[in-house]
């Protein structure tokens, strides 16, 4: 006969810090350290599961400095884990975690740079999903476990719930999104969810409305609507509704793909012009509708100021993982030429177009950095002893960090300075230690709060050749 094991009783944990990934951790009475996503440092909680990936079952005592979250979806959405902490406390916790993690680099720290304000209303991009099943709040989940009947079915628009591809957290508005995004979201949401067409069901592979993208540029909000393949009724409804949403442009994408991702073919431009105008560091940029750009424009301006101090000026700025070239072009006035590499060809096309408009001498190439970089270096006389003038390298890789084959030529590159922009500090540590072993030294690092109220933080680290004493030129 099979007997179910009795459930272990909850464990009381005093949450005391954030780890390197911005997740809360704390100690129980036995001295075991628990990792608890969604817990608030300074609180005492009941935890279940295993220490390396525990679950918060309840709060015994809140943190002394807790504040009321600004978002009605806090605790259900999961995107802004730190809203109950004052912004200054968030910064202090992040810096504590970074100091501990990055100590092996042996570098000075220059503190944390953040945009002014309370950390709300900054985000310039949202990507939401339609669905027919609602993701329940923690209190609703508890009520359902206790036997209550909670209605899940309907027409919804929001973010996917944690670990669920088929349930959506309703998001009437987002506290960290720019107010203009929320205004347009409200209009689109009202029209679409009251339309005669059903939301997409990923389980049934049926429905019409699939995803909604919102992006804000200098000229207003760009709306990206993703649907299943349309008929004449869909066409007529969308062409009538789109102009009243108050957007600078509305683009309609369609797809018959099974995967639940915001991708598709451009079906029609329902309003406006299909482009995004943005500015960064004094550089006016024109982007394709789907091109990557920093989600926090004011925070990105602060980061450009940090980069200006770290990169200085010179003959050539080598910009790896450059995207649409935004960071490099913002610093281009300090250099005679900019060369860049990125995987996404559409971004490279945008970078070259923007460089021409700005009058920047640029050489941008599409492809994987590990494949394109050797030829790019050779074409610019790098690694051959033929370079003339000061060379600065800017790398802004994805969360996984530098590909080993892209890192290899940088280890021996005859550059004056290498500035690493990290969206995951553990990747910076790994790649930074490889640079140190190859004769570089990390002189300092700066944290930049591009994502207030979330677990994420950017780090800008400056590396110099250990064998040289280099004077930083002021731009």
Nearest by Cα to 389 from 292, 473, 305: 473
| Number of domain units in the chain | 3
Q: How far apart are the first and last CA of the chain?
A: 77
The whole-angstrom distance between residue 375's C-alpha and the CA centroid of its chain comes to: 30
Same domain, 312 and 447: yes
* Same domain, yes or no: 261 and 333: no
Kindly state whether residues 213 and 352 are assigned to the same domain. no
Quick one: pLDDT at residue 468?
Answer: 47
Examine residue 82 and state whether it is found in any structural domain, yes or no.
Answer: no
Residue pair 98/459 in contact by the 8 Å Cβ criterion: yes
Any idea what the CATH number is for the domain that residue 32 is in?
A: 2.40.50.140
Q: Which of 278, 311, 338 is the last residue of a domain?
A: 278
- Position 386 scores a pLDDT of 53
Using DSSP, state whether 335 is helix, strand or coil. strand
Of 299, 300, 296, 334, nearest to 317 by C-alpha is: 334
pLDDT recorded at residue 24: 94
Of 426, 428, 454, the C-alpha closest to 24 is: 454
Task: Supply the pLDDT for residue 108.
Answer: 96
Distances (CA, A) of 412 to 97, 316, 342, 384, 452: 31, 17, 21, 11, 37
* Vertex 406: Cα angle to 287 and 349 (nearest 5): 20
Q: How many other C-beta atoms are found inside a 10 Å radius of the C-beta of residue 78?
A: 18
Residue 39: strand pairing partners:
none
Coil vs helix vs strand at 338: strand
Classify residue 205 as exposed, middle or buried by CB count within 10 Å of its CB (0-12, 13-18, 19+). exposed
Domain boundary at 219, 248, 278, which?
278
DSSP label at residue 333? G
In a domain, 287, yes or no: no
30, 111: one domain: no
> How many CA atoms lie less than 13 Å away from 341 in the CB half-sphere?
19
Residues 252 and 227 sit within 8 Å (Cβ to Cβ):
yes
For residue 245, being part of any structural domain is answered with yes
152 and 42 part of one domain: no
Judge if 132 and 112 occupy the same domain.
Answer: no
CATH code at 432?
A: 3.40.50.150
Question: pTM surpassing 0.95?
Answer: no
Q: Is residue 97 part of a domain?
A: no
Per residue in 273-316, pLDDT (tens digit) is: 999 999 999 999 999 898 889 999 999 999 999 999 999 999 99
Residue 409 lies in a domain: yes
Residue 354 CB-half CA count within 13 A:
33
- Do 154 and 23 fall within a single domain? no
The crossing angle, in degrees rounded to 10, of helices 369-379 and 404-411 is 30
Closest CA to 63 of 17, 10, 119: 17
Which domain, by its residues, includes 205?
Answer: 125-278
Q: Are 155 and 193 within 8 A, CB to CB?
A: yes
Residue at which a domain ends, from 221, 250, 278: 278
What pLDDT score was predicted for residue 383?
61
By the 8 A CB rule, do 138 and 173 touch?
A: no
Task: Decide if 73 is inside a domain.
Answer: no
User: In 3-state terms, what secondary structure has residue 163?
Assistant: coil
- The secondary structure element, H or E, covering residue 100 is helix 87-102
Same-domain status, 432 and 304: yes
Length of the chain: 475
Q: Same domain for 302 and 234?
A: no
For the sheet with 335-342, list strands across it.
108-114, 440-449, 458-465, 417-422, 391-395, 314-320, 335-342, 362-366
98 in any annotated domain: no
Taking the C-alpha atoms of residue 59 and residue 38, their distance in angstroms, rounded to an integer, is 11
Q: What share of the chain is helix, strand, coil (3-state, %, to 5)?
A: 25, 30, 40
Q: Which of 50, 58, 57, 10 is nearest to 34 (CA)?
A: 50
Same domain, 3 and 53: yes
Residue 318 and residue 334 in one domain: yes
49 shares a domain with 15 = yes
Low-confidence stretches of the chain (pLDDT < 70) are 1-7, 383-388, 467-475
Instruction: Report the distance separating Cα 33 and Cα 52, nearest Å.
Output: 8
Asked if residue 92 belongs to a domain, the reply is no
Tens digit of pLDDT for each residue in 335-392? 999 999 998 888 899 999 999 999 999 999 999 888 898 889 888 887 655 556 789 9
C-alpha dihedral sign at 166, 170, 171, 175: negative
Nearest-angstrom CA–CA distance, 190 and 436: 55
With beta carbons less than 8 A apart as the criterion, state whether 60 and 16 touch. no
Query: What pLDDT is recorded for position 471?
Result: 37
Can you state the angle between helices 425-437 and 404-411, rounded to 10 degrees? Answer: 40
- CATH number, domain of 245, equals 2.40.50.1070
């Amino acid at each position: 006969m099979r007997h179910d094991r009795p459930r272990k009783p909850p464990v009381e944990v005093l949450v005391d810090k954030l780890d390197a990934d911005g997740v809360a951790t704390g100690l129980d009475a036995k001295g075991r350290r628990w990792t608890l996503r969604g817990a608030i440092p300074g609180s005492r909680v009941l935890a279940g599961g295993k220490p390396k990936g525990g679950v918060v079952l309840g709060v015994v005592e809140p943190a002394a400095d807790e504040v009321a979250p600004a978002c009605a979806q806090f605790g259900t959405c999961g995107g802004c884990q730190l809203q109950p902490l004052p912004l200054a406390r968030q910064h202090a916790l992040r810096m504590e975690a970074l100091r501990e993690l990055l100590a092996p680099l042996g570098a000075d720290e220059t503190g944390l740079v953040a945009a002014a304000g309370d950390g709300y209303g900054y985000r310039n991009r949202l990507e939401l999903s339609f669905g027919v099943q609602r993701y329940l709040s923690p209190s609703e989940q508890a009520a359902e476990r206790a036997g209550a009947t909670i209605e899940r079915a309907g027409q919804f628009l929001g973010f996917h719930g944690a670990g669920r591809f088929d349930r959506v957290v309703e998001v009437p508005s987002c506290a960290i999104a720019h107010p203009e995004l929320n205004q347009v979201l409200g209009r689109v949401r009202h029209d679409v969810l009251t339309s005669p067409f059903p939301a997409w069901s990923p389980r049934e592979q049926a429905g019409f409305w699939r995803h909604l993208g919102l992006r804000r540029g200098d000229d207003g909000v760009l709306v990206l609507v993703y649907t299943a393949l349309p008929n004449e009724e869909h066409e007529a409804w969308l062409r009538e509704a789109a102009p009243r949403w108050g957007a600078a442009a509305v683009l309609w994408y369609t797809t018959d793909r099974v995967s639940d991702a915001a991708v598709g073919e451009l079906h029609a431009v329902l309003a406006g012009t299909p482009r995004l105008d943005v500015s960064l560091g004094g550089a006016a940029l024109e982007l394709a509708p789907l091109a990557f750009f920093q989600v926090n424009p004011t925070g990105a301006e602060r980061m450009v100021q940090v980069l200006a101090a770290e990169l200085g000026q010179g003959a050539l700025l080598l910009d790896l993982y450059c995207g649409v070239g935004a960071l490099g072009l913002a610093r281009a006035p300090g250099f005679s030429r900019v060369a860049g590499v990125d995987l996404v060809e559409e971004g490279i096309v945008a970078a070259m177009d923007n460089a021409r408009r700005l009058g920047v001498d640029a050489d941008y190439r599409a492809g994987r950095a590990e494949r394109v970089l050797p030829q790019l270096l050779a074409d610019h006389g790098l690694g051959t002893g033929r370079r003339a003038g000061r060379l600065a390298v800017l790398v802004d890789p994805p969360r996984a960090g530098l590909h080993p084959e892209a890192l290899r030529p940088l280890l021996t590159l005859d550059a004056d300075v290498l500035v690493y922009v990290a969206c995951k500090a553990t990747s910076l540590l790994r790649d930074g230690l490889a640079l140190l072993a190859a004769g570089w030294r990390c002189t300092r690092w700066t944290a930049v709060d591009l994502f207030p109220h979330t677990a994420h933080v950017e780090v800008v680290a400056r590396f110099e050749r250990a064998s040289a004493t280099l004077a930083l030129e002021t731009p």
